[in-house]
Structure 1
Amino acid sequence: MWLSWLNGLLICTGLIVAIGAQNAFVLQQGLRRQHAWLVAGICALCDWLLVGLGVLGLGALIAQQAMLMEVARWAGAGFLAWQAWLALRRACSRHALVAGGREQASWRGALAATLAVTLLNPQVYLETLVLLGAIGAVQPSPLGFFFGAAMASFGWFFGLAAAAGWLAPRLASQRVWRAIELGIALILAWVAWRLASGVMMPQL
């Protein structure tokens, strides 16, 4: 139970911390104090729903097929390795996160924008339904894995919204930004190695 929970926590953290459109949007709303908690809650809820469907549904179906498990394992490892390489490249560049964009005047606008940023990104389905779902389905405790992933999602999005004012100016610092991206690259590379080596995807 606890090992599955820890796997869910670490794997989801490695995926979710990678700076992208969704995290930038949460940070933006937090800085503007515009429905930041609503935005964070929607992001976390979408993660919970998709990971749950993956672990209990699609992930379980994949786990029953040895060939599909191999495809999921290598596809997931390749995807994470590519993301790690991109993060490493960003760590060596001068780009920094810019939380900007159009105003969100109403909670309905914030709701629609958050759903669009979250669900119109094909990457989210690969990460949650396929990758996390397939890994979670073969854990000793799939439910423990789900709770670990849910805790990572909850902690990250609400923490990001709460700390937006403190984080934004520091993310503009090249030194801090590069350290963050380097940390992301190391986490993703570690997870990719564990997937490729079969540690997290045992043969069935």
Structure 2
Amino acid sequence: MVLAFPTFSAGMLLSMSLIMAIGPQNAHVLRMGLQRQHLWLTVAVCALADVVLIGLGVLGLAQLGGLSDKMLGALVGAGVLFLGVYGWQAFQRFLKPQAMVALNDGAGDQTRQAPTPLTQRQAILSALAFSWLNPHAWIDTAVLIGTASLAYGQGSTVFGLGAATGSLVWFLLLGAAAFWLGRRLNSLHLWRLLDGAVALMMWATAGWLIASLF
């Protein structure tokens, strides 16, 4: 048990360090929190999707030597298409932020951009798309964590459990932050900045993925 704890901690710290950057998946969780739409369902799906990728990396891809060129190319193509479309949608919201609704949360009337209501099924599919159509998620969680686990030999499973725990902890913290912000930040100016930043982030990531193919 004493020997397992450093291995578990190493996996947890590596996992959290890889996913803490505000990428497409984290940006999606923040947006769902700000919109107050299926936040905890989104958090649960993103966390479980990461756990699946970590398990795949630790138990399979590490031993196979990573993703094949064809699989990686197909994943990059799907990711570029998805990020491009989502970036365009965010850019349209940035250009036309006139859709407003009145809110009253006890602190007076507020206004913010009206979100398009999502069903639970749509929320689940969106979270899975951001988790599994993002090549960065595969490289970070499946390939890098899977490869790092090989250094721990028979302790690779403990390392993987630590990495999975790190992912769960991160998404719970991110969900709590998004929930807190969603109850306080309702200005139209903030929504425009967020949508503009998301559009640039999605397109920059898509451009980087395209460049990585050459």
Same fold, TM-score > 0.5, yes or no: yes
Q: State the partner residue of 1:122.
A: 135
Which 4+ stretches in 1 moved above 3 angstroms?
165-170
| Alignment gaps of 5+ in structure 2 | 67-112, 191-214
CA–CA distance in structure 2, aligned partners of residues 50 and 42 of structure 1: 12
* SS, match of residue 45 in structure 1: helix
1:53–1:165: structure 2 CA closer, same or farther, 3 Å change rule? closer
Instruction: Tell me the matched-pair count.
Output: 136
Which deviates more from structure 2 when the two are superposed, residues 116-125 or residues 160-169? 160-169
Q: State the partner residue of 1:188.
A: none
**TM-score with structure 2 length normalisation?**
0.57
Q: State the partner residue of 1:145.
A: 159
* Preserved contact between residue 29 and residue 161 of structure 1 (Cα < 8 Å): no
After superposition, the C-alpha distances for 1:99-143 in whole angstroms (9 at most, x for unaligned) are: x89634211111111111111111111112211101012214112
Q: State the partner residue of 1:91.
A: none
Which structure has the larger Rg over C-alpha atoms? 2
Q: State the partner residue of 1:5.
A: 8
CA–CA distance in structure 1, aligned partners of residues 119 and 179 of structure 2: 21
Q: State the partner residue of 2:38.
A: 35
Q: Per-residue deviation at 1:32? A: 2.1
CA–CA distance in structure 2, aligned partners of residues 117 and 104 of structure 1: 18
* SS, match of residue 139 in structure 1: helix
| Alignment pair present for 1:45 and 2:59 | no
**TM-score with structure 1 length normalisation?**
0.60
Q: Per-residue deviation at 1:51? A: 0.7
CA–CA distance in structure 2, aligned partners of residues 101 and 49 of structure 1: 34
* Preserved contact between residue 56 and residue 137 of structure 1 (Cα < 8 Å): no
Q: Which has the higher strand share?
A: 2
Q: State the partner residue of 1:111.
A: 124
1:155–1:122: structure 2 CA closer, same or farther, 3 Å change rule? same
